[in-house]
């Protein structure tokens, strides 16, 4: 039986062998691997790119104080971007499952329609949820639009739910029982994280302070975006720094949401504010790339 | 049927199951049109599909088009020899090869040009890429570049064979060939095929091309798994369909779950199995839910039981979640959640579900709902705040009903809430109780009124709030719940909404109840409120229509209507007996006056069949009147009196149905 980290090593090795850059997780809080600049910005434009990375993904509202065996505030995604998409992308994907020891002649794989969409990022794609013996293990998406921009190519995005996959491979009923490395369970590594952040996210986070932080990051982002037009030389302009501010806003939005601070009526409006920044950053990234070309 | 001599297989990454059949229908039609447009004989033999391939076979395709002759017309003969020479030169022929053709405009130079027929292969090679990419899908994608081909999912191979030869073309960067692909793990990636051996070759590679065969295999598997165990699979045609188009080689397996979960409501268990896991539920002989499920794999066997074990584990986790939600939700009673509805948006411009709740409670009162109905209206939407409904949205209403029962509310209230989203479709049942129907009506009417108020009116295929279904539901509940309610009074006097309703009423009577469109028009023209009354009048028309007097009388009524219209007659003027002419006119009037009280009595007791039969019995007098009497009498007073008589007759006897709407042969 492979440990959790062995599974990770194998998947990274597999995609490394297929020409992917193996990146480390992005160091700003995100709700999904898609939000990292390695995906959000790199899928834009015509330049080929292949990357794989594990991204801890924080979804405050999904926290369960470490009490639910299948739900986590922060779960780990393996994110793979293949741009352009190889013709045999599905075969390559199935190969990755075999590489971690899933004998697909003894298991049942189905591709069920599931189109992914993120209103906050102005992004969507067409694809499937991949079901392994009735368990959703991967979101498979052909990216069509990001930051409100139609993508030149339609990169394939594979998002593996690592805890689920590991629990499946190790035959565990609870993610907390996953063997991270021999002798160490997932529980020992992550339980405190789940419990404490659930307390913070649901109970103690200061709503007023969160709103202030949201406004500060929003303002800083917009300030940067507005500077681009006059800034020279364009190549040095910090689009990436502006995009980090978008991520901060997005995470603060999620926190406020889990804190119950955003009424349903306000919700659409706040999502719109974040999307506006995301779209702005995506446009500047494109402009800067074109400038350089 | 001849053996097919053409085969097209479009190899695609997994197509969403529900889109496959419409795509096949289109493919079949488009191919038949392609043949017809190119004057090619032949016919589509069959179309079929798996998630990864759309297949069309056709037979009796000829080698090519016949040679044909096209008549090319040139300048008029009157233009002279010079013009003829010019015409001939343009065609590259000599003047003596020209003929003249007579047309209504005179004689023209002309030439019979022989057109060589093209080969079928050539025609297909040219047309198939467009035909393939022309298949309409609910949502398409691109996968090469932004300007590249669009399809439901990427096209990965195309087989196109005419006889033994490949029809050569490129579509979305893929070259047609004679190479297909087997099952992803139990078949070869490249399989060379011929038309004759196509299905066999694929079967050898674990693909059943025919949906019917896959469906049969699932059904047999299910029967074998349950046989002799005192178990039966709950039939679910829609799920069977889904699984048929989600697999290339389906195999059913039986799994089990801990009977302890049976303490959760059956509705929750079934929803988890059905909607989240695509499992069939299994029942014991007494009909109760058994702790088993049937899943369908896309592989030939599960020799080591790994797939069963995996599915069982997933289901266990799902059931655990459901139990967790149930227990958490019980911590706060549903009835204590009304105020929380202020935080749930009904529609951005229409406020929260609390606002909606208050309106619906008021409306239930107005409709005459009893205390249970009013109570149910107050708590009906509270389950939107529960974790269970947030997770299993399909169960809204149902969860509310279950919680209310568990929390000791009166059964009538619980049932009303449980049922208040019904009917889910035109085929589905309406709420079981009066209170349930009342809440359902009020909820739907409120949605309709409010949406129309802010201009959210369905148009074409755009109906995001499912207002058509809501109005349809109101109609169905009123008629089938045998309600005496008059709905019009509750439509806010909104003319657009009334028209919208009328449309739904017509649809209901025609499509759901199968009444002829002219009968529906006739009855609705005489009023549609209350709907149960319109329904009884329709039944009566249907009963009386085949009798001998009815249609001729209807024709006469139409004649009367036209006469009055031409005379620009202001209705309501009474006739004078003194001006009636002895004979057919007096006879008609006497018969009419004799029938009138009888018809009225029958109508008042809602015995519409008898009333219509009485009216129909007027036919001989009406016929004789039109035969012998001139309405447009030279004496204007007599003429006016006759019009007044006819108008009275029409008015009096049109309150059940406007007979002039009946289409007579």
Percent of the residues in chain B that have a pLDDT greater than 90, as a whole number:
68
Helix, strand, coil share of chain B (percent; to 5): 50, 15, 30
Phi, psi angle pair for B298, to nearest 5° = -105, 35
According to the model, what pLDDT value does residue A269 have? 86
Query: In this predicted structure, which of A228-242, B78-92, B401-415 has the lowest mean pLDDT?
Result: B78-92
CB within 8 A of B160, min separation 6: which ones? Answer: B7, B8, B9, B124, B128, B166, B167, B168, B169, B176, B177
* Residue B56 host element (H or E): strand B53-59
Decide if B42 contacts B62 (C-beta within 8 A).
yes
A94 touches chain B (CB under 8 A): yes
Across the interface, whether the CB atoms of B142 and A144 are under 8 A apart is answered yes
Q: What is the pLDDT of residues B555-598, one digit of tens each?
A: 888 889 888 888 888 877 889 998 888 899 999 999 999 999 99
Distance of alpha carbon B241 from alpha carbon B493, whole angstroms = 44
Across the interface, whether the CB atoms of B186 and A105 are under 8 A apart is answered yes
Residues of B in contact with A87 (CB under 8 A): 154, 156
**Mean pLDDT, chain B, integer:** 93
Over residues A87-99, mean pLDDT: 97
Q: What is the pLDDT of residues B160-195, one digit of tens each?
A: 999 999 999 999 999 999 999 999 999 999 999 999
List the single residue in B with minimal CA-CA distance to A84.
B144
Q: Is the pLDDT of residue A220 over 90?
A: yes
CB within 8 A of A60, min separation 6: which ones? Answer: A73, A197, A201, A202, A254, A255, A257, A258, A259
Over residues B518-547, mean pLDDT: 91
DSSP character at residue B3 = P
DSSP character at residue B275 = I
Distance of alpha carbon B538 from alpha carbon B573, whole angstroms = 30
According to the model, what pLDDT value does residue B568 have? 87
Distance of alpha carbon B30 from alpha carbon B182, whole angstroms = 27
Across the interface, whether the CB atoms of B184 and A94 are under 8 A apart is answered yes
**What is the full DSSP assignment across B168-191?**
--EETTEEEESEE---TTTS-S-E
Distance of alpha carbon A156 from alpha carbon B144, whole angstroms = 11
Distance of alpha carbon B554 from alpha carbon B545, whole angstroms = 10
List the single residue in A with minimal CA-CA distance to B144.
A153
**Res. A204 pLDDT band, cuts 50 70 90:** very high
Within 10 Å of residue B461's Cβ, how many Cβ atoms? 5
Instruction: Give the distance from residue B297's alpha carbon to the nearest chain A alpha carbon, in angstroms.
Output: 6
**Res. B475 pLDDT band, cuts 50 70 90:** very high
A87 touches chain B (CB under 8 A): yes
Decide if B6 contacts B195 (C-beta within 8 A).
yes
Phi, psi angle pair for B286, to nearest 5° = -80, 5
According to the model, what pLDDT value does residue A264 have? 60
According to the model, what pLDDT value does residue B573 have? 83
Give the global pTM: 0.82
Across the interface, of B143, B247, B279, the residue whose CB is closest to A85 is B143
The CATH number of the structural domain formed by B539-661 is 1.10.730.10
A133 touches chain B (CB under 8 A): yes
List the single residue in B with minimal CA-CA distance to A127.
B153
Instruction: Give the distance from residue B458's alpha carbon to the nearest chain A alpha carbon, in angstroms.
Output: 23
Over residues B23-45, mean pLDDT: 96
According to the model, what pLDDT value does residue A169 have? 95
Across the interface, whether the CB atoms of A106 and B303 are under 8 A apart is answered yes
Q: What is the pLDDT of residues A228-276, one digit of tens each?
A: 999 999 999 999 999 999 999 999 999 998 887 886 667 878 999 999 9
DSSP character at residue A85 = P
Q: Is the pLDDT of residue A8 over 80?
A: yes
Over residues B533-541, mean pLDDT: 93
- Report helix angle B434-453 to B467-480, nearest 10: 150
Within 10 Å of residue B271's Cβ, how many Cβ atoms? 23
Decide if B18 contacts B118 (C-beta within 8 A).
no
Across the interface, whether the CB atoms of A107 and B189 are under 8 A apart is answered no
A70 touches chain B (CB under 8 A): yes
A84 touches chain B (CB under 8 A): yes
Residues of B in contact with A152 (CB under 8 A): 145-146
- Residue appearing with tokens 């090869």: B97
Across the interface, of A106, A126, A152, the residue whose CB is closest to B141 is A126
Q: Is the pLDDT of residue B296 over 70?
A: yes
Across the interface, of A68, A107, A268, the residue whose CB is closest to B307 is A107
When scoring B143, B175, B188 by the number of chain A Cβ atoms within 10 A, the one with the most, hence best to mutate, is B143
Parallel, antiparallel or unpaired: strands B155-162 and B174-177 = parallel
Helices marked H in B380-425: 387-391, 398-406, 411-419
According to the model, what pLDDT value does residue B80 have? 84
Across the interface, whether the CB atoms of A68 and B324 are under 8 A apart is answered yes
Distance of alpha carbon A82 from alpha carbon B383, whole angstroms = 43
Distance of alpha carbon B305 from alpha carbon B311, whole angstroms = 10
Q: What angle do CA B35, B36, B41 make, to 5 degrees?
A: 65
A261 touches chain B (CB under 8 A): no
Q: What are A69's two structure tokens?
A: 């065996």
According to the model, what pLDDT value does residue A265 have? 61
Distance of alpha carbon B581 from alpha carbon B639, whole angstroms = 11
Task: Extract the runs of DSSP E, i.e. beta strands, from B78-152.
Answer: 99-103, 106-115, 141-142, 150-151
Higher pLDDT, B493 or B413: B413
Q: Is the pLDDT of residue B343 over 90?
A: no
Q: Is the pLDDT of residue B411 over 80?
A: yes
* Residue B162 host element (H or E): strand B155-162
Strand order in the sheet with B106-115: B68-76, B106-115, B99-103
According to the model, what pLDDT value does residue A268 have? 79
A:155-214 residues touching chain B, CB 8 A cutoff:
168, 171, 173
Across the interface, whether the CB atoms of B139 and A107 are under 8 A apart is answered no
Across the interface, whether the CB atoms of B315 and A134 are under 8 A apart is answered yes
When scoring A64, A114, A124, A133 by the number of chain B Cβ atoms within 10 A, the one with the most, hence best to mutate, is A133
Decide if B360 contacts B442 (C-beta within 8 A).
yes
Residues of A in contact with B310 (CB under 8 A): 107-108, 132-135, 168
According to the model, what pLDDT value does residue A259 have? 86
Parallel, antiparallel or unpaired: strands B179-180 and B170-171 = unpaired
The sign of the torsion formed by the CA atoms of B188, B193, B199, B200 equals: negative
Q: What are B442's two structure tokens?
A: 């009020």
Across the interface, of B146, B315, B320, the residue whose CB is closest to A150 is B146
Residues of A in contact with B297 (CB under 8 A): 108
**Which three-class secondary structure state does DSSP give residue A57?**
strand
Across the interface, whether the CB atoms of B316 and A173 are under 8 A apart is answered yes
Residues of A in contact with B246 (CB under 8 A): 110, 112
A137 touches chain B (CB under 8 A): no
Higher pLDDT, A131 or B530: A131
Decide if A203 contacts A261 (C-beta within 8 A).
no
Q: What are B303's two structure tokens?
A: 């020799």
CB within 8 A of B411, min separation 6: which ones? Answer: B405
Q: What is the pLDDT of residues B597-616, one digit of tens each?
A: 999 999 898 899 999 989 98
* Residue B59 host element (H or E): strand B53-59
When scoring A69, A134, A271 by the number of chain B Cβ atoms within 10 A, the one with the most, hence best to mutate, is A134
DSSP character at residue B264 = S
Distance of alpha carbon B650 from alpha carbon B558, whole angstroms = 9
When scoring B53, B142, B275 by the number of chain A Cβ atoms within 10 A, the one with the most, hence best to mutate, is B142
**Res. B426 pLDDT band, cuts 50 70 90:** confident
Across the interface, whether the CB atoms of B144 and A150 are under 8 A apart is answered no
Distance of alpha carbon B16 from alpha carbon A209, whole angstroms = 46
Across the interface, whether the CB atoms of B321 and A70 are under 8 A apart is answered yes
User: Any idea of the CA torsion for A41, A44, A49, A52, to the nearest 10 degrees?
Assistant: 40
Decide if B475 contacts B529 (C-beta within 8 A).
no
Distance of alpha carbon A87 from alpha carbon B365, whole angstroms = 63
Exposure class string for B512-529: b at 16+ Cβ within 10 A, else e = ebebbebbbbbbbebebb
Instruction: Give the distance from residue B151's alpha carbon to the nearest chain A alpha carbon, in angstroms.
Output: 11
**Any idea which architecture B334-514 has in CATH?**
Orthogonal Bundle (1.10)
Across the interface, of A70, A90, A113, the residue whose CB is closest to B16 is A113
Instruction: Give the distance from residue B471's alpha carbon to the nearest chain A alpha carbon, in angstroms.
Output: 27
**Which three-class secondary structure state does DSSP give residue A125?**
strand
Parallel, antiparallel or unpaired: strands B141-142 and A74-83 = unpaired
Decide if B172 contacts B193 (C-beta within 8 A).
no
Q: What are A2's two structure tokens?
A: 């492979």
Q: Is the pLDDT of residue B1 over 70?
A: no
Instruction: Give the distance from residue B524's alpha carbon to the nearest chain A alpha carbon, in angstroms.
Output: 42
Across the interface, whether the CB atoms of A264 and B352 are under 8 A apart is answered yes
Percent of the residues in chain A that have a pLDDT greater than 70, as a whole number:
99
Within 10 Å of residue A79's Cβ, how many Cβ atoms? 25
Residues of B in contact with A71 (CB under 8 A): 321
Q: Return the domain boundaries, chain B.
A: 4-63+120-203, 68-115, 211-321, 334-514, 539-661
A98 touches chain B (CB under 8 A): no
Distance of alpha carbon B593 from alpha carbon B586, whole angstroms = 10
Integer angstrom CA distances of residue B586 from B551, B577, B592, B629: 24, 8, 10, 11
| Nearest by Cα to A84 from B138, B10, B148 | B148
Within 10 Å of residue B267's Cβ, how many Cβ atoms? 16
């Amino acid at each position: 039986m492979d440990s959790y980290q062995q599974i990770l090593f194998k998947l990274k090795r597999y995609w490394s062998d297929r020409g992917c850059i193996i990146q480390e997780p992005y160091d700003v809080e995100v709700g999904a691997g898609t939000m990292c600049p390695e995906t959000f910005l790199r899928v834009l434009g015509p330049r080929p790119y292949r990357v794989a990375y594990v991204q801890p993904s924080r979804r405050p509202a999904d926290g369960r104080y470490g009490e639910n065996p299948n739900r986590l505030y922060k779960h780990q995604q393996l994110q793979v971007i293949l741009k352009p998409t190889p013709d045999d992308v599905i075969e390559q994907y199935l190969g990755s499952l075999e590489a971690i020891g899933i004998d697909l002649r003894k298991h049942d794989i189905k591709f069920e329609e599931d189109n992914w969409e993120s209103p906050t990022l102005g992004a969507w794609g067409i694809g499937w949820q991949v079901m392994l013996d009735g368990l959703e293990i991967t979101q498979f998406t052909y990216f069509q639009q990001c930051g409100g921009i139609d993508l030149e190519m339609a990169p394939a995005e594979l998002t593996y739910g690592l805890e689920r996959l590991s629990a499946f491979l190790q035959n565990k009923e609870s993610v907390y029982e996953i063997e991270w490395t021999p002798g160490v369970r997932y529980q020992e590594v992550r339980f405190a994280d789940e419990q404490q952040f659930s307390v913070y996210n649901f109970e103690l986070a200061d709503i007023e302070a969160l709103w202030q932080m949201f406004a500060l990051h929003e303002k800083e982002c917009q300030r940067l975006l507005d500077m681009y037009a006059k800034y020279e030389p364009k190549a040095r302009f910090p689009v990436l720094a502006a995009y980090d501010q978008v991520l901060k806003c997005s995470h603060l939005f999620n926190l406020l949401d889990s804190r119950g601070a955003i009424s349903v009526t306000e919700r659409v409006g706040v999502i719109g504010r974040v999307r506006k920044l995301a779209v702005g950053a995506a446009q500047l990234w494109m402009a800067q790339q074109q400038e350089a070309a | 049927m001849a053996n097919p001599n053409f085969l097209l297989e479009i190899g695609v990454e997994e197509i969403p199951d529900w889109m496959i059949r419409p795509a096949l229908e289109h493919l079949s039609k488009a191919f038949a049109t392609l043949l017809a447009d190119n004057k090619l004989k032949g016919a589509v033999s069959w179309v079929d599909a798996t998630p990864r391939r759309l297949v069309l076979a056709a037979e009796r395709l000829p080698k090519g088009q016949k040679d044909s002759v096209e008549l090319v017309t040139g300048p008029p003969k009157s233009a002279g020899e010079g013009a003829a020479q010019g015409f001939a030169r343009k065609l590259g022929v000599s003047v003596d090869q020209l003929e003249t053709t007579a047309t209504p405009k005179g004689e023209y130079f002309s030439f019979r040009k022989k057109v060589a027929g093209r080969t079928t292969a050539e025609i297909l090679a040219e047309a198939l890429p467009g035909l393939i990419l022309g298949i309409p899908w609910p949502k398409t994608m691109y996968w090469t570049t932004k300007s590249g081909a669009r399809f439901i999912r990427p096209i990965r191979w195309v087989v196109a064979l005419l006889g033994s030869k490949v029809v050569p073309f490129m579509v979305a960067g893929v070259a047609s060939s004679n190479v297909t692909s087997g099952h992803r793990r139990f078949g070869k990636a490249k399989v060379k095929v011929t038309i004759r051996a196509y299905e066999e070759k694929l079967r050898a590679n674990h693909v059943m091309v025919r949906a019917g065969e896959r469906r049969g295999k699932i059904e047999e598997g299910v029967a074998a798994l349950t046989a002799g165990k005192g178990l039966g699979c709950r039939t679910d045609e829609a799920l069977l369909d889904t699984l048929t188009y989600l697999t290339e080689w389906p195999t059913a397996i039986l799994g089990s779950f801990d009977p302890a979960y049976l303490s959760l409501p059956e509705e929750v268990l079934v929803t988890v199995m059905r909607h989240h896991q695509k499992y069939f539920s299994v029942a014991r002989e007494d009909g109760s839910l058994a702790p088993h499920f049937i899943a369908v794999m896309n592989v030939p066997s599960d020799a080591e039981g790994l797939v069963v074990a995996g599915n069982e584990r997933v289901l266990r986790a799902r059931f655990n979640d459901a139990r967790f939600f149930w227990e958490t939700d019980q911590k706060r009673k549903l009835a204590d959640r009304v105020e929380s509805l202020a935080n749930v948006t009904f529609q951005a411009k229409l406020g929260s579900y609390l606002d909606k709740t208050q309106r619906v409670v008021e409306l239930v009162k107005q409709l005459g709902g009893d205390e249970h109905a009013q109570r149910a209206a107050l708590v009906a939407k509270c389950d939107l705040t529960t974790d269970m409904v947030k997770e299993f949205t399909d169960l809204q209403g149902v969860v509310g009903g279950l919680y209310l029962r568990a929390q000791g509310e009166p059964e009538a209230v619980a049932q009303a809430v449980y049922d208040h989203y019904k009917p889910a479709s035109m085929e589905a049942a309406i709420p079981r109780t009066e209170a349930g129907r009342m809440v359902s009506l009020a909820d739907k009417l409120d949605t309709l009124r409010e949406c129309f108020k802010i201009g959210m009116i369905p148009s074409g295929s755009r109906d995001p709030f499912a207002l058509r279904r809501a109005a349809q539901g109101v109609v169905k509940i009123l008629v089938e719940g045998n309600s005496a309610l008059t709905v019009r009074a509750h439509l806010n006097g909104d003319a657009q909404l009334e028209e919208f309703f009328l449309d739904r009423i017509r649809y209901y009577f025609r499509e759901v109840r199968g009444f002829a469109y002219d009968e529906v028009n006739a009855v609705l023209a005489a009023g549609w409120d209350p709907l149960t009354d319109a329904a009884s009048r329709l039944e009566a028309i249907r009963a009386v229509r085949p009798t001998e007097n009815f249609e001729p009388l209807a024709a006469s009524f139409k004649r009367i209507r036209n006469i009055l219209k031409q005379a620009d007659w202001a209705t309501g003027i009474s006739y004078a007996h003194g001006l009636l002419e002895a004979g057919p006119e007096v006879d008609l009037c006497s018969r009419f006056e004799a029938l009138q009280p009888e018809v009225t009595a029958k109508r008042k007791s809602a015995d519409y069949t008898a009333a219509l039969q009485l009216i129909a019995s007027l036919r001989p007098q009406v016929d004789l009147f039109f035969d012998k009497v001139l309405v447009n009498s030279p004496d204007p007073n007599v003429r006016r009196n006759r019009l007044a008589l006819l108008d009275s007759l029409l008015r009096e006897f049109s309150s059940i149905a406007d007979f002039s709407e009946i289409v007579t042969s």
